[in-house]
Structure 1
């Protein structure tokens, strides 16, 4: 049951894609980049689940943050029947 300002999805079917976002700043930025890139080609994004977070270390310092994400998006009823 939704609480507060949560929106109820109008889609009956959702699809999920797996993406890896990368950032030199933070894991949060890596997730935002993954969602931002998905939004360029995918409509109706409903949410994101972070599955794993890793980092690239060079000379003892974190130089890249990576977030493995599932991005869920609603599937239009009109498009499902194609």
Structure 2
């Protein structure tokens, strides 16, 4: 039987929501092993002068606890 744990991570990118998600997983994987999935719970963006300047995601990362 596998035991799974979920953590919530906030990340941002100046490129896209997809890149912000990749950055969240990349950063979490430095200390969290056995990552199984990522769920994008929420996304938002900062706007300045009518242009998006920053993409933000709130993700839930699921990993197996050994």
Return the TM-score normalized by structure 2.
0.96
Higher strand share: 2
Q: TM-score scaled to structure 1, two decimals?
A: 0.78
Q: Which residue number corresponds to residue 43 of structure 2? A: 53
Equivalent residues, number: 66
The residue matched to 1:42 in structure 2 has which SS? coil
Relative contact order (C-alpha < 8 Å, sep 6+): which is higher?
Answer: 2
Which secondary structure state, in structure 2, belongs to the residue aligned with residue 35 of structure 1?
helix
Task: Give the superposed CA RMSD.
Answer: 0.9
Could you list the structure 1 runs, at least 4 aligned residues long, displaced by more than 3 angstroms after superposition.
Answer: none
Superposed CA deviations along residues 19-54 of structure 1, whole A, max 9, x for unmatched, are: 011000000000000000000000000000000010
Greater CA radius of gyration, 1 or 2? 1
Whether 1:15 aligns to 2:34 is no
Number of the residue aligned with 2:16? 26
